[in-house]
A and B are shown apart, each in its own frame.
Chain A
Amino acid sequence: MSGQTRPVRVLRNLNAKIAAVPMILTTLVVFVGGTIWTVIYSFTNSKLLPKLQWVGTAQYERLWNNDLWNAAIHNLLFFGVMSMVFTIGIGFLLAVLMDQKIRFEDTFRTIMLYPFALSFIVTGLVWQWILDPGMGLQEVVRRMGWESFSFDPLHDPDTVLYGLLIAGLWQGTGFTMCLMLAGLRGIDEDIWKAARVDGIPRWKTYIFVVIPMMRPVFITTLVLVAAGIIKLYDLVVAQTNGNPGNASQMPAMYVYRYMFTAQNLGQGFAASTMMLLSVLIVLIPWAYLEFGGKKRG
C-alpha cells in the first residue's frame, strides 16, 4: 500500500512543484551561492577584480581598526535602538487610539500609511529640504516672525542622527501601526467583556492582558523593523550622504564605498559579511521563537 502511494506523493501537485523550480534555483544560486562566494572572498586581498589570494582575517582586522567602520556601527546602533523604541512605541499608541471605534478610521489609517508608500529616496530628499535651514522649517518659522529661531539638525554632527530619525519615523510608524492594529483586532471581544466585568481599567487591560497576547505581532514587527535598520542605506544617501564628516555614516555605505569607489572588494566583502552576521543574530532567535514555539505549543 505504502509502496503505491509514495510515487504518487512526489507527483502530487506536480505543476506547482515545477512552477517553484525557478524560484528554488534562484534562491540556491543567487542568494545562498552569492552569500557563500562573498564570505569566501572576504578572506582574500581582492582589489578591483576577485582573486583567490588568501590573507586570512587581515580584512576583518583592518575593518575593526577603521574609524569610519566603527563610527558607522556606532551610528547604526544608536539609530537602531532609537528607531526601534519609537516606531514600536508610537505605532502601538496610534493603533490603540485607532482602536477606540473612532469615526473615519479608514481615512486616518490611509493617511498614516501613506508615507510608507514612498521610497526612502523620496522621504530622504523631502526631509532634507524640510530640515534645510535656508528653505525649510527654520525659514518658515523665521518668516512668521521668530527671527532667532534656529533648527538645523542635519549640519551638526551631534544632531544629524535625530534628523534621520525624524524621517525614518515619519515613514515607518504607519506600517507598524497597521501591524499592531491587526493584532489588536485579533483579540477576542470576550476578553474585553471579561475584563470589564472584573472592573479592570482599560489601560491596565492593554498593558497586562492585550500586550502579552500580542506577543507574536510584536516579535514579527521587531524583526521587520530590525532587518530594515541593518540594511539602512537609501534614506541616508538621499538625506545626508553620511555627512557631516562621518556623523551619519552607515555600514551599508561603507560596503558600497569599499567595493566600488575604493576598488577594494576584499574589504567590502568583509564588511558585508559582518552585516550578514548581524542580520542572522536578529533572525535566528526569531525563527526559534516563532517556529520552535509552535511545535511545542
Chain B
Amino acid sequence: MKTFKLAALLATVAVPTASFATDLEVTHWWTSGGEAAAVAELAKAFDASGDKWIDGAIAGGGDTARPVMISRITGGDPMGATQFNHGQQALELVQAGLMLDLTDVAEANKWKEVINPPSLLDSCTVDGKIYCAPLNIHSPEWLWLNNKVYTDLGLPVPANWNEFVASAAQVEAAGKIPLALGRQPWQSNLAFGALTIGVGGLDLWKSINVDKNMDAAGGADMLKVFQAAADARKLAAKSTVQDWNQATNMVITGEAAGQIMGDWAQGEFQVAGKVAGTDYTCLPGMGLNAYISTGGDAFYFPVTGDAEKEAAQKRLAALLVSPAVQVAFNLKKGSLPIRGDIDMSTANDCMKKGLEILASGNIVPAGDQVWSPDVQTQLGDLQGQFWSGDMSAEDAQAAYVEILKSSM
C-alpha cells in the first residue's frame, strides 16, 4: 500500500496533469430523461479536460445498481469512479481499503472551506481521511403539484399538505388520482419520511433519527404521522405504476394531482418543458415545515492499482467539485450544488426555494446518513407493506419502533 501511494505520488509529480488522456469508466444509476441530461454535462466537462468518460449507466435505480457496483469492486474488477449516496452505503468498502484516499485532492482544492453544508464532507470522511467527492444535494421532502388540475376544477392550488388532503375529494370526484405513488418500497419510505418532517416537525424528526429516542418513535406525535400516511395511502390507492418517473409523469400529464418525491423530480418537469410556478408547484417540507434533508450523491473512486488511472481519478474528483461543473450539472439535474460560493441565478423557482432553505440552515441529515442500509431496507419493506395493505397506523408504528430498536 505504501509503495503504491509513493508510486502514485511520483506519477503525479513526474507527469504533468492532463498531458495524456486516460479512459475512466464511471458507473451510476442516472437513467431517466432529466438525469441523463445532467450526466452528459459531467461527461462533456471531463472529455474537455483531456480525459475520456466511459459511461457505465446501470438501469433500474439504486437498489439494482449498487449490488452490481459493489460486486465489481469486491470481485476485483473496479470501475474508475462510481456513484453512491452520501452516508453509510460504501462505508465498509472504505474500511476494507478498497477506495482511493482523496485527502490530497481535498486539501489542494480547499474542500473543507467551500463545501456547504459541512455534513456532506463529514459523510465522506473516515478516520480523518476523505474518500468521496460530494456532487449534489438532494432532498426528498417535496410535494409536487400540477396547477392545471386545480385551476380546471376552480380550486386554489394547495399551499401545504393539509390543504392538499382537504381538496383531494374534489380531485378524485373529477376522475383524477389525487396522489401518484410508484409501487417500489423506497418510494413509500420516502413519502413517509417527508410526512415525518412535514407533519411531525423538526424536533420530532431529530429526536427519533439523530438522538434515537425510542419513546418519541412510539409516542402520540409519531402516531399522527402514521395517520397522515394512512390518509395518503387512501389518496394513492389507484396509482399502480412502478418507477418514480412514471409517477411523476402522471403529475406532468395531469392524470394525477400531486406526488411526494425528491427534488430530482424537477428534472422530469424540466425535460417535459414545464415552467415552475405556472405549470407546476413545488412545496418543500410539504409546505408545512420548510426543512429539507441533505442527502445526495457522491462519487467514490475504487483503488485500481494503476498509477495513471489514479491520477485521472483525482483529476475527475477535483473537476466534480469545481464551480463550473457544479452549476452546469445541478441546473440540469434539479439538485442543489454542494458549494455556496457559486452563481445559481439562472435556477428556476423551485431550485431557488431549495437554495434559500439551504442558505438559512434549515437542514437535517438524510436517512442514508443516520441509518444503515440494513435499517433503511427494513423500513422500506415496512412502508411497502403499510402502503399497499390495510395495516393500521398503530400496528405500523409498533413495527417501526421494533426495527429501529433492533439496530441499536
Contact = CB atoms under 8 A, between A and B. Distances in A.
Interface of A: 47-49, 62, 67-68, 71, 155, 157, 241-247, 257-264, 267
Contacts of A68: 381, 385
Interface string B65-82: 011001100100000000
B374 A264 contact: yes
Interface in B351-408: 372-374, 376-378, 381-382, 384-389, 399, 406
Contacts of B389: 157, 244-247
Interface pairs A-B: 9 shortest CB-CB = A260-B67, A262-B377, A245-B388, A48-B92, A244-B388, A245-B389, A263-B373, A264-B374, A245-B385
B interface secondary structure, majority: helix
A67 B71 CA distance: 28
Contacts of B406: 62
A244 B406 CA distance: 26
A67 B374 contact: no
B92 A49 contact: yes
29 contacts: A47-B374, A48-B70, A48-B91, A49-B96, A62-B406, A67-B385, A67-B399, A68-B381, A71-B385, A241-B184, A243-B183, A243-B388, A244-B388, A245-B388, A246-B381, A246-B384, A246-B385, A246-B389, A257-B381, A258-B377, A259-B67, A260-B66, A260-B67, A261-B373, A262-B376, A263-B70, A263-B92, A263-B374, A267-B374
Nearest to A243: B183
A138 B372 CA distance: 43
Interface in B228-261: 240, 242
A201 B336 CA distance: 81
A262 B92 contact: no
Interface residues of B, number: 31
B22 interface: no
A243 B66 CA distance: 21
B92 A47 contact: yes
B373 A262 contact: yes
A71 B74 CA distance: 32
Contact of A262 (B71, B374, B385, B386): B374
Nearest to B88: A263
B377 A261 contact: yes
A157 B388 contact: yes
Given A245-B389, A246-B385, A262-B378, A49 B373 contact: no
Given A48-B70, A243-B183, A262-B376, 11 more contacts: A67-B399, A242-B384, A244-B388, A244-B389, A245-B388, A246-B384, A246-B389, A257-B381, A258-B374, A259-B67, A263-B373
Contact of B242 (A241, A258, A267): A241
B343 interface: no
Contact of B67 (A155, A261, A267): A261
Contacts of A47: 92, 372, 374
A263 B372 CA distance: 9
